[in-house]
Amino acid sequence: MGCWIAGRSEGRREISIIPSRHSRVSGNPGRNKPEERLDSRLRGNDIAGFRDDKPATIRCCSSTVLYYRGPFEQPKSIPREEQMADEKALTARAEDFSAWYNEVVVGAELADHSPVRGCMVIRPYGYRMWELVRDELDRKFRETGHQNAYFPLFIPQSFLSREADHIEGFAKEMAIVTHTRLKATGQAGAAALAPDPESRLDEPLIVRPTSETIIYAMFAKWVQSYRDLPLLINQWANVVRWEMRTRLFLRTTEFLWQEGHTAHATSDEAEQEARQMLDVYRSFMEQWMAMAVVTGRKSPSETFPGADHTYSCEAMMQDNRALQAGTSHHLGQNFSRQFDLKFAAESGEEEYAWNTSWGASTRLIGGLVMTHGDDRGLVLPPQLAPIQVVIVPIARKEEERAAVMEKVQQIVRALDGIRTHVDDRDNLTPGAKYYEWESKGVPFRIEVGPKDIAKGQLVLAKRVLAEGEERKRFLPEEEVLSTLPALLNEYQDWLLEQARERRERNSHRGVRDYDHLQEVIEGEGGFIYTGWCGSAACEARVKDDTKATIRVIPDPEFASEVRPSTCVVCGEASAEEVVWARAY
RNA sequence: CGGGACGUGGCGCAGUCCGGUAGCGCACCUGAAUGGGGUUCAGGGGGUCGCCGGUUCAAAUCCGGCCGUCCCGACCA
């Protein structure tokens, strides 16, 4: 048996070899692109086209390694640049948005898949983003009079059965604790331990999918009179929903969030609270995340189980699908009746309190990625960027190093108040660092080398360029340092502008007939504004036919100037204008 | 939970059809030269081939079971 020789494809996608009768060729396609996969099937001893001494060509990707024996021409290696570009490039958004998303999230080291099914590990860079989200939301919650508290992870099963709609909405996706001990079984491997039957709990505990039940049970203990109201509580916590299909940040079995829970003396007050918190979410998403949202009320079928009504911020992702990014519920008296949350009103009458709850989760991080990311990777708005400016020192020779690093330290000091990072690793070339920090979404980069020091200048590079902008600008050091705060702000605003323009570009108003609705959803997608008679049947039909759902009944600010007069499905009189979209 | 694909060094994958010394690229480590957009050369380390069992002189490869991942459905923030 002859030895196998590994060769690289010549040129980018083809290799020519002169095979013999005994040639055997197999491919190692670097990526699972369909056409390459096809070619990788060319193997075995009797490949078509590999006959005698006729030269033959195999198409393959640049990273394909061919194994063959027999006479052949030594292939030239591929130009390094092309090979790198091909191997390291992300899947383009236009090609496969889901694959792109996964590659960005994992590649930028935001999160990773864990050994636990459906659960993710949030890595330091991604967790820092969450901390920045959390810090600002927390500040806003305090500003609006809320206090943080912490309630248990476990909820007695009986609590959940008290609010019928609520439990029905969550019953299919819960983690249930039934035992308190493990016992050795004597078997091998995974079966070595099993729950000890003697430790079975009388009443199972549910790992919270959300905390309404336990929180309102506690509120009932704490509230006696109207003087105890309003009670305004928030908690930062993890929750578990046993999802069938998960995706990093967007839908995982366990996720982090905050859940606000409040009790009020009147329905109006609760309504105001629910609206206020929706506004908090909205302004946060716009001002900090630079995401464009549409706010509004949910249709009954999309309303939170146990709520009277639900408000939502719906953001549009770059694949034109909607992401529910924050919700706020007016719970009416549904929970207070179940948990006996009563208070003595001013009149002396005993009344049930009115509740709200509202939440936003680590899903926001996923929304951020899908809103701003591009084919180079992550794009972060400065407000949520763990690193706002990365500084890459360039020192060719050892003797230049001290001067460059000294200058870098000066820069860092001058940029006090901006989150900077100095990438002084000496095992990478500057170019490699540029690619890495761009893929991680860092808004600005400063390059400093001996030439710059000599000229009193710095090189400033921006992550995303507006029309006609140059990637690198060579500016006086003074100017860079003094204008960076303003540049960061401009960039933040510009990202929001871009997001808004994209939302408008992909919003379709005045859609009247059903065919048109279907056509848009099946085609480019986006937010589609139509009339709706209010019937669940019409809503369900659209979902069955197109997978699109009513995202919101838009708030006046987003409603169309001309209100639709008929239901897009049945043609009867329209009760509401609604926004349809396929959603995450 | 149904339909499909797939599990081989950290990552991406050949090898499996037809059983016979476990490979390639990237990454990593060491040394030297490099360094302004993914450096180069030389050397080196790392894998119970998802798990359990069966067939066989011999299993990544064949057979059975299980587990897991991804895609498509049903469900959802």
Chain segment A54-113, per-residue pLDDT in tens: 333 333 333 333 333 333 333 333 334 444 455 677 788 887 888 888 888 988 999 888
pLDDT at A520: 92
Cβ neighbors of A519 (< 8 A, separation 6 or more) are none
Give the separation between CA A404 and CA A401, rounded to whole angstroms: 5
Give the separation between CA A464 and CA A466, rounded to whole angstroms: 7
pLDDT at A189: 59
Give the separation between CA A488 and CA A484, rounded to whole angstroms: 6
Low-confidence ranges of chain A (pLDDT < 50): 1-84
Q: Can you give the distance from the CA of residue A190 to the C1' of nucleotide B67 in angstroms?
A: 10
Which is nearest to A405 in space by CA: A362, A448, A439? A448
Q: How far is CA A265 from CA A163, A230, A261, A311, A378, in A?
A: 21, 7, 14, 21, 46
Residues facing residue A69 across a β-bridge: none
**DSSP code, position A198:** G
* Residue-wise DSSP of A350-407: EEE-EEEEEEEETHHHHHHHHHH-BTTB----GGG-S-SEEEEE--SSHHHHHHHHHH
ipTM, 2 decimals? Answer: 0.85
pLDDT at A187: 63
Nearest nt (C1') from A395 Cα: B35
Amino acid at site A232: L
Torsion of CA A472, A476, A478, A483, to 10 degrees: -40
Cβ neighbors of A485 (< 8 A, separation 6 or more) are A417, A418
Find and list the nucleotides of strand B having atoms within 7 Å of a protein beta carbon: 1, 12-18, 23-26, 28-29, 34-40, 51-52, 68-77
Q: Can you give the distance from the CA of residue A367 to the C1' of nucleotide B66 in angstroms?
A: 37
Nearest nt (C1') from A301 Cα: B76
Look up the pTM and report it. Answer: 0.87
pLDDT at A22: 30
Q: Can you give the distance from the CA of residue A424 to the C1' of nucleotide B31 in angstroms?
A: 21
Q: Can you give the distance from the CA of residue A513 to the C1' of nucleotide B50 in angstroms?
A: 52
Using DSSP's 3-state secondary structure scheme, residue A443 falls into coil
Amino acid at site A556: P
Closest alpha carbon to C1' of B69, residue: A117
Give the separation between CA A306 and CA A304, rounded to whole angstroms: 6
Q: Write out pLDDT tens, residues A258-308.
A: 999 999 999 999 999 999 999 999 999 999 999 999 999 999 999 999 999
Q: What sign does the dihedral A98-A100-A103-A106 (CA atoms) show?
A: negative
Give the separation between CA A465 and CA A226, rounded to whole angstroms: 56
Contact (Cβ atoms closer than 8 angstroms) between residue A378 and residue A142: no
Give the separation between CA A194 and CA A137, rounded to whole angstroms: 42
Q: Can you give the distance from the CA of residue A510 to the C1' of nucleotide B31 in angstroms?
A: 70
SS (H, E, C) A489-551: HHHHHHHHHHHHHHHHHCEECCCCCHHHHHHHHHCCCCEEEEEECCCHHHHHHHHHHHCCEEE
